[in-house]
Amino acid sequence: MQIPAAIWLVAIPLLATPVVYLAGHIGRAAAADLSGQVTARWGALIALAVAFFPFAQATHELAIYGPSTFAVGLINLRADGLTLLMAGLVLALGIAVILSGEPTMAQDADEVKFYALLLIMIGTTIGLVSAGDLFNLWLWFETMSISSYLLVAFYRDQPTTLEAGVKYLVQSSAGSVLVLLGVALVLAQTGTLDLAQIQATATASPGLLAAGALFLVGFGVKAALVPLHTWLPDAYTQAPSGVSAILSGVVTEAGLIGMLRALSMLAGTRLSWGMLLIAFGALNMLVGNFLALRQRQVKRLLAYSSLTHIGYMLLGLGIGIYAGQLTAAQGGFFHLITHGLMKGLAFLAAGALLQALRAADSERSPLTITDLNGAARRYPMVALVLSIALLGLGGLPPLAGFMSEWQIFTGGFLTRNAVIEGLVVFAGTMSVMSMAYYVPLVNAIYRQETSEAVRAGTSLPAVTLLPLLLLALAVIAIGIWPRLVEWLTAPAGAALVAALKG
């Protein structure tokens, strides 16, 4: 029997995990040098690269046959536009993170564990976005969360990191319990957990509405809706930068996808969900911007800016759900991709600088904006790509963020609804406001007078630059020619609107 590509896509990272872990440990036991870590790193890299084959195959099949469902025992897997969009993004970012090779520079003995956990997180994220029934949705969500707690608290000998990990754990668990309650409610009401079946049969009953509210808030914790977001700044700041890149670029959004999947069975009440998502989107933009405005720490600033960008996605997806607006939904997913690339790039570049400037500092004190003064003079390439990432996040053309925001805004105006048009103008103003904190950072990087930290910094290995340059090129290319990712965003947008059309 031939195993479908969609199953391989989930299976490869998960199957590779024990192999990578064991091979890394055996290598370390055999030779007392770094070879075990090198083995683990290459193993993880190869596993992710191989996963691109089933990805390509699944994309091809989707284009020809449309969405499909596969069963592996009791587990239902679904391959549609949403699945492939997230899978492609998480694989690409995963490869970038491994290539940038942060733990190597940190001289961290646990590197083998890092790669194994990273593979689990990537595999479970793909599993989450391809779950076909509610219980598996929750199960994947939990496993993804558990792997991410361990990664956030990776530098476990530091109190601040542990604090961040615990906060993340407690808040996510609270969210997770709400999701589980929601699942129980749905089962009690309908007697089934299959998403497609529920959607076909269920009518809007108070019980199902309550379940929807539980899903919205439960997944909303992971997706960092304001005011459920409070774990996020600590987690992003304390995690290794590569992990921050994947957390902000994909894992947070995976929570969003989980929410959309769970809500899609309640298609009959899509107006309410659309309104709620739009409202949370506006709140996220506003609060994220204000909190980032006076932030002096680089990674914390990037963390708060993620709130704002989740807000743009919520706006696009919310309009897509509320008005059945395909363009807005597609724009929301487009922004998910561009934000993933730009924020991933920003965290990786900031991480590279953090490693270089804090090499001598065993405390890993946080990187502030003033620390970056004059960084361009010593690290011209990293400074350039970080600036590209920041300006792209601020929505400047010719960078990717401009085009995805444009598509969301276009979708908003296509509804011809005055309130939504007003919200689009508000979102545009928020984008302008965000420049007020990205731009001073860019200014600092290009100063003549260098900071103490930059003068004392160590040099960076050239290989670190490779993933940064690739991501920067992608950000520019998409900004000039937005069609480049249409093959991913169009099916995803169509899948969302179709799922909620009812």
Partner 1 sequence: MAGYLALAVILVPWLGALAVWWAGDERRLAQHALAIVFALVTAVLSLMLLPVVSAQVVLSLSAGASFGTFTFVLDGLGVFLAIIAATIGTLAVIFSVDYMAGEAQLGRYYSLILLFIGAMIGLVLTGSLLLLFFFWEITAFCSYALISFHNDDPKAVSGGIRALIVTQVGGVGLLAGALAIYSVLGSFQIGGFLDQAEALPPGMLRWMAFGFLLAAAAKSAQVPFHTWLPDAMEAPTPVTALIHAATMVNAGVYLLARFYPAFAPVGGWKVAVVTVGVVSAVLAAVMGLVAVDIKRVLAYSTISQLGYMVYAIGVGGVFASQFHLMSHAVYKALLFLGAGAVAHIIGTRDMRQMGGLGREMPFVRAVFLVGALALAGLPVLNGFWSKELVLEAGLGGGPLWAYIAMLLCAGLTALYTFRMVWMVFYGTRRSEGAVHDAPLAMRLSLVVLALGTLTSWVSAGPFGQMLARSLPFHTLDVASTGQIVLTVLMAWPTWLALAIVALGLSAWWWRERLAKFTSRLRFLARAAAGDFGFAWLDEAIVRTAQGTAEKLSLTQTGQLNWNVLGVVAGLVVVLVFLIWRA
Residues 325-354 that bind partner 1 (CB under 8 A): 327, 330-331
Q: Does 429 bind partner 1 (CB under 8 A)?
A: yes
Contact pattern for partner 1 over residues 209 through 238, marking x by CB under 8 A: xx-xxx-xx--xx---x-xxxxx-xx----
Q: How many residues lie near partner 1 (CB under 8 A)? A: 74
Looking at residues 259 to 288 of the shown chain, list those that interact with partner 1 (rule: CB under 8 A). 271-272, 275-276, 287
Contact pattern for partner 1 over residues 460 through 499, marking x by CB under 8 A: ---------------------xxx--x---x---------
DSSP state letters, 445-480: HT-SSPPHHHHHPPP--HHHHHHHHHHHHHHHHHHH
Integer Cα distance of 368 and 354 in angstroms: 10
**Contact 81/493 with Cβ under 8 angstroms?**
yes
What would the two tokens of residue 175 be? 């969210």
Looking at residues 18 to 37 of the shown chain, list those that interact with partner 1 (rule: CB under 8 A). none
**Smallest distance from partner 1 to CB 272, Å:** 5
Query: CA 356, 340, 453 angle in degrees (round to 5)?
Result: 15
Q: Does 436 bind partner 1 (CB under 8 A)?
A: yes
Q: Does 362 bind partner 1 (CB under 8 A)?
A: no
Q: Does 96 bind partner 1 (CB under 8 A)?
A: no
Q: Specify the DSSP element, H or E, that contains 39.
A: helix 35-65
Integer Cα distance of 330 and 129 in angstroms: 17
Of 414 and 470, the one with the shorter C-beta distance to partner 1 is 414
Q: For 142-174, give one letter per residue: b (16+ CB within 10 A) or e.
A: bbbbbbbbbbbbbbeeeeebeebbebbbebbee
Of 15 and 490, the one with the shorter C-beta distance to partner 1 is 490
Looking at residues 154 to 183 of the shown chain, list those that interact with partner 1 (rule: CB under 8 A). 166-167, 170-171, 174-175, 178
Integer Cα distance of 27 and 19 in angstroms: 12
Integer Cα distance of 235 and 167 in angstroms: 8
Residue at token pair 């005055």: 418
Length reported for the chain: 502
HEC profile for 98-136?
Answer: HHHCHHHHHCCCCHHHHHHHHHHHHHHHHHHHCECEHHH
**Smallest distance from partner 1 to CB 495, Å:** 16
Out of 14, 22, 50, 433, the residue judged to bind partner 1 by CB under 8 A: 433
Of 115 and 437, the one with the shorter C-beta distance to partner 1 is 437
Of 59 and 76, the one with the shorter C-beta distance to partner 1 is 59
Q: Does 409 bind partner 1 (CB under 8 A)?
A: yes
Out of 196, 396, 466, 470, the residue judged to bind partner 1 by CB under 8 A: 396
Q: Does 15 bind partner 1 (CB under 8 A)?
A: no
Of 90 and 178, the one with the shorter C-beta distance to partner 1 is 178
Contact pattern for partner 1 over residues 185 through 214, marking x by CB under 8 A: ---------------------x--xx-xxx
With both helix axes pointing from N to C terminus, report the angle between 400-414 and 418-445 in degrees, rounded to the nearest 10: 170
